[in-house]
Amino acid sequence: MITITEEPYDGDVAAGFVAELLQELNERYADADAAAVEEDVELPDDDDYLAEVTPAMVQPPHGVFLVAWLDDAPGACGAVKPLDSDPSIGEIKRMYTRPTARRRGLSRAILEALERRARELGYRRLQLETGTQQPEAMALYESHGWHRIEPYGHYRDAPDSVCFAKALDLPA
């Protein structure tokens, strides 16, 4: 059974997820990063990645950090926060499913819950960034009505970035 809970971003559960996500991203993009170094392209460091989301950004009334539990074990997470360049738009961050919990509906459950909470927080549009080395993430977003947009913000010049957006209907 899948249960979704709001968790503090500065808590142990979130810290564990963020560390695992960062490790996986570093592994998935190792070849691309090596090519960028050869081309003398400046890469963001882990501190830049960690600074993109702070506890204050992902707590009501502006955002939320959600965890999907499968049989009492945390299996997936995701957050919504205000978009840096336009706080009227929500941005999905920290979507991650642990390898042992994949292909069990947790990513879908987290995404749907984040969209619901974003509506409740008053967002009418959501955006997110993923990457070329995450085809399963791109397939998830496309299957839930998200459409590709031009890379935005500091993703604008990142060759591995793929950005998506979705308009939200506000709750009745």
The pLDDT tens digits of the residues spanning 90-143 come to: 999 999 999 999 999 999 999 999 999 999 999 999 999 999 989 999 999 999
2-167: CATH architecture: 3-Layer(aba) Sandwich (3.40)
End-to-end Cα distance, the chain: 28
pTM, rounded to two decimals: 0.87
Beta-ladder partners of 82: 90
Name the least confident of 29-33, 37-41, 65-69, 118-122: 37-41
Q: Which of 153, 95, 92 minimizes the C-alpha distance to 121?
A: 92
pLDDT of residue 142: 97
pLDDT (tens digit per residue) in 142-156 = 999 999 999 998 888
Locate the domains of the chain by residue range. 2-167
CB 50 within 8 A of CB 79: no
Q: What is the DSSP string of the chain?
A: -EEEEE--TTSHHHHHHHHHHHHHHHHHTHHHHHHHHHTTPPPPPHHHHHHT--GGGGSTTT-EEEEEEETTEEEEEEEEEEETTEEEEEEEEEEEE-GGGTTSSHHHHHHHHHHHHHHHTT-SEEEEEEETT-HHHHHHHHHTT-EEE---GGGTT-TTEEEEEEE-PPP-
